[in-house]
A = this chain, B = another copy of it.
Amino acid sequence: VGIRQIADSLSLSVCTVSRILNDTMGDAKYRKETIERVRRAAEEMGYRPNMVARSLVSGKTHTIGLCLADIANPVFGEFAALFERDAARRGYATFVCNAGEDPAAERRYVDMLVSRRVDALVISPVGKDVRRLKRIANAPHCRVVLFDRCPGGVHAPSVQVNNRNAMRDLASRCLALGHERVGVIMGSPADSSLALRLGGIRDALKAKGLRASSLVTSKGTGATTVEGGAKGMRHICKKRTRPTLVLALSNVLSMGALAAAKELGIRIGEDLSFAGFDDFPGADLMTPGITVAVQPVRKMAEECVAFACASGPAKPVSKTLKAKIVWRESVRSRGQSR
Contacts and interface: CB of A to CB of B under 8 A. Distances in A.
A115 B51 contact: yes
A127 interface: no
Contacts of A63: 116
Nearest to A112: B93
A255 B282 CA distance: 8
B88 A109 contact: yes
A52 B63 CA distance: 12
Interface string A79-92: 01100110010000
Interface in A117-136: 117, 135
For chain A, give the interface size range: 35 or more
**Count of chain copies:** 2
A71 interface: yes
A195 B240 CA distance: 55
A117 B50 contact: yes
A214 interface: no
Interface string A42-54: 0000101111110
A51 B258 CA distance: 46
Interface of A: 46, 48-53, 55-56, 61, 63, 71-72, 74, 77, 80-81, 84-85, 88, 93-98, 100, 108-109, 111-117, 135, 255, 258-259, 262, 267, 280-287
